[in-house]
Structure 1
Amino acid sequence: MAKVEMHVPNKQYDGYYGGVRFHKGVGVFEDVELAKELAGRYGYEIVEIKEENAEVEVEEVKEEAEKPVPKKRTRKKAAPKAGE
């Protein structure tokens, strides 16, 4: 199956567009026709990925343990001063 990369002008774009995850302005489309349609509509760059050189990049997501929320400290009411 052919794959293409779409490069958007904003190199810091991280998100989903056209059902594809973009990371640092690059998204990998398996649906070549959809990629070409979107690129033609918005003027984005398309780069074909050759199957023999394709590498799968795996990102590990580490879950951070929830930090316990510290208790809020309440203030003590001031004792009335003498003469009040």
Structure 2
Amino acid sequence: MRPLRSLLFIPGHNGSWVEKGVNSGADALILDLEDAVLDDEKAHVPEEVVRSVRRLRESREQIAISIRLIHWTRASPATT
């Protein structure tokens, strides 16, 4: 695996931006499912990211997927 010198963060809700990212020359694309996406579009982001990843598999030799925990709760000490 070669070192990654450039990372391009792309909002995951827009497949055409992902296509532009592929042509950008970046060593890696990071599809953002949370921070860069408007609240009313977040429900549809996972499906669009799946479509984008399928397209990327055809044009890239490597794909890495990182899933960040979006919502979590912490139990209080009194309940554990």
State the TM-score, normalizing by the size of structure 2. 0.30
More helix by share: 2
Instruction: From the CA coordinates, give the structure whose radius of gyration is larger.
Output: 1
Considering fraction of residues, name the structure with more strand.
1
Task: Normalising by structure 1, report the TM-score.
Answer: 0.29
